[in-house]
Chain A
């Protein structure tokens, strides 16, 4: 099913690339939607070991090492179970997120030293994800309807054909304008630039490595750089596997208190 979808996408992209300017004519919102589908919704579910390195301008490093379990639900809803293997002071902590595209997320935090499940105020999905340069929104995607999108141009980015899309928020956002370079074949964002209200560039996303996993193109290395502070976060996805059969029982309070061993390593 997914492979068929990918084939269709590739065929479509190939077709579009043969006709210069065809992608430009496409509805920009639907292009963004396709991009989100490829970037945040690939597969039915996903299991990946995620290693985030937070780097200060001075070169100080901090590591966030977690197992990401993700499952797609109906209506663009998603569930995330994020189990932290490191650093040592948060080992065993679990963050569970029920993501809804146009409503506040439900977020739970399990603190193992206290055997305590907390509910986390989630109004701000633009706030930093575990202190990194990625926001929650950057990790799980922003509602397509929360911005107006415009196709600016087609552009080659290191020999990959992309369509450059400008997104201007209509709902609360931490940027005043965002430019995305969406690859025409995979629909993955290769680069994103975030501009503040003064029109100054402050955050840059780059997809540094794309691999084929079970026929699904997957960003396995990515970086978010805060241009203003010089702080950046590099993320590596290891052992990515799609459609592993994550059950509903993983995304429950009971599993928070007793994380499912078989999915954590």
Chain B
């Protein structure tokens, strides 16, 4: 099956070479996109049970079409992906973005499916409370697929000095976690059936997010507010001693935060903080609801020599009501630290007029004692064609921590993309 996938990918790629950008001048309709082959192999030889639990974590051929039409009054943008999932062997379609932009006075409105990103972290997220696809991230897919599009109404307003973004998201979107059919991972309730209970489609469940931002003295500074739900499921057992059903729920959450970044110390310095207020679990006595926490990170990025960049970040998560959390945590469950900490390191070197990129991004947690390494090689074969090889290496002292649980899922991804 894998070889068939490779052949199909090559065939699709060669067909794609004939495609030329179309531009209908009079209408100002721009048509662009890409053709991509993307395969990801687990290299540990271990497999989860089931038909999708083979050596291929991921395999697909993908065709993206972007339609962009601008007029005097506004803009229409559609990004649609057509793909063939080679592991599940089925064709599929994904509407990645579909929105209308329009301006009213000094404010802009964007309505529809869109990608939203906030905060100043380098793959660390505090005030970036928008949905993410961790399975895509952990299997070496191009980074844009870490983002799960959301249906939203976004309002942009402000002056040249201070601006604001206000986002309303009526349809809840959970984070996409690595699939249990494809990833070997820790399960605190092995073998127990699960059901998911997402927030109901009610007006009162509309998520609201706001960001006030501006640049002062060269520092991009922002304040954030979010009212919605945790996107990572909380697990609720129907009975603690011998559960027969686990319900994944998404408790209510409010986040207050701030961030800043700018030139300092010969590089770029960044910092972000946020208070995660778990509205349903304020006293910390319910193990099925996450406790409130204070989260922060500081980061520094520098270019010591031409085409070489170093980035460092230090992240921490301080849990409120820790004693209550420990007291109610069922026995046998792995406990999170009171002050969970995480460091990241990024090294990137460009060669050959920036057409070849060698890089590594590494997470290490001194409290969880686990790590996640992402080495990458990317080469632009021509202005339209690039390929990359990405590794995803997990490990740790225990197999119950965030990265440590994927120890048996070390994988290698190959991507080739032709853009038009």
Q: Per-residue CB proximity of A246-262 to B under 8 Å, as 1/0?
A: 00110011100010010
**Would you list 15 pairs from A and B whose C-beta atoms are within 8 A, ordered by A residue?**
A88-B419, A89-B384, A89-B419, A91-B32, A114-B117, A115-B115, A115-B116, A119-B220, A123-B267, A124-B305, A124-B306, A128-B307, A253-B213, A253-B215, A258-B156
A127 touching B303, Cβ below 8 Å? yes
| Chain-A contact segment, one of B174-182, B187-195, B258-266 | B258-266
Cβ of B101 within 8 Å of any chain A Cβ, yes or no, is: yes
B382 touching A62, Cβ below 8 Å? yes
- Which of A56, A91, A116, A261 meets B117, CB within 8 Å? A116
Cβ of A9 within 8 Å of any chain B Cβ, yes or no, is: no
Cβ of A121 within 8 Å of any chain B Cβ, yes or no, is: yes
- Min CB distance A57 to B, Å, is 12
B156 touching A128, Cβ below 8 Å? no
A128 touching B303, Cβ below 8 Å? no
- Min CB distance B272 to A, Å, is 13
Cβ of B302 within 8 Å of any chain A Cβ, yes or no, is: yes
CA distance A122 to B265 in the complex (A): 11
Interface residues in chain A, defined as those with a beta carbon under 8 Å from any beta carbon in chain B: 54, 56, 62-63, 86-89, 91, 98, 104, 106, 113-116, 119-124, 126-128, 130-132, 174, 231, 248-249, 252-254, 258, 261
A119 touching B261, Cβ below 8 Å? yes
On chain A, the residues within 8 Å of B144 by CB distance are 113-114
Cβ of B91 within 8 Å of any chain A Cβ, yes or no, is: no
Interchain residue pairs A-B with the least CB separation, the first 6:
A131-B354, A87-B383, A88-B419, A131-B353, A127-B306, A113-B144
Cβ of B70 within 8 Å of any chain A Cβ, yes or no, is: yes
On chain B, the residues within 8 Å of A113 by CB distance are 144
Cβ of B114 within 8 Å of any chain A Cβ, yes or no, is: yes
Interface centre among B21, B220, B268, B305 (most CB of A within 10 A): B268
B215 touching A121, Cβ below 8 Å? no
- CB-contacts of B220-278 with A (<8 A): 220, 261-263, 266-268, 270
On chain B, the residues within 8 Å of A86 by CB distance are 383
Contacts A114-B147, A253-B163: A128 and B354 contacting too (C-beta < 8 A)? yes
On chain A, the residues within 8 Å of B262 by CB distance are 106, 119
CA distance A252 to B159 in the complex (A): 10
Could you list 9 further interchain pairs (A-B, Cβ under 8 angstroms) beyond the known A62-B380, A122-B268, A124-B303?
A87-B384, A89-B380, A114-B115, A116-B117, A119-B301, A121-B267, A122-B303, A128-B306, A252-B215
Residue of B nearest to A255 (CB): B160
On chain A, the residues within 8 Å of B49 by CB distance are none
Residue of B nearest to A174 (CB): B306
- Min CB distance A233 to B, Å, is 9
A106 touching B383, Cβ below 8 Å? no
On chain A, the residues within 8 Å of B382 by CB distance are 62
B306 touching A123, Cβ below 8 Å? no
Cβ of B420 within 8 Å of any chain A Cβ, yes or no, is: yes
- Which of A87, A114, A127, A254 meets B307, CB within 8 Å? A127
On chain A, the residues within 8 Å of B117 by CB distance are 114-116
Cβ of B398 within 8 Å of any chain A Cβ, yes or no, is: no
A252 touching B163, Cβ below 8 Å? yes
On chain A, the residues within 8 Å of B353 by CB distance are 54, 56, 62, 128, 131-132, 231
- Min CB distance B77 to A, Å, is 10
On chain A, the residues within 8 Å of B402 by CB distance are none
CA distance A254 to B120 in the complex (A): 15
- Which of B218, B354, B417 meets A130, CB within 8 Å? B354
On chain B, the residues within 8 Å of A63 by CB distance are 383
CA distance A131 to B351 in the complex (A): 9
- Min CB distance B228 to A, Å, is 19
- CB-contacts of B59-85 with A (<8 A): 70, 75
Residue of A nearest to B101 (CB): A258
On chain B, the residues within 8 Å of A119 by CB distance are 120, 220, 261-262, 268, 270, 301
On chain B, the residues within 8 Å of A127 by CB distance are 303, 306-307
- CB-contacts of B69-117 with A (<8 A): 70, 75, 101, 108, 114-117
Interface centre among B215, B263, B303, B419 (most CB of A within 10 A): B263
- CB-contacts of B14-30 with A (<8 A): 21
Contacts A115-B114, A123-B267: A249 and B261 contacting too (C-beta < 8 A)? no
Contacts A63-B383, A89-B383: A114 and B301 contacting too (C-beta < 8 A)? no
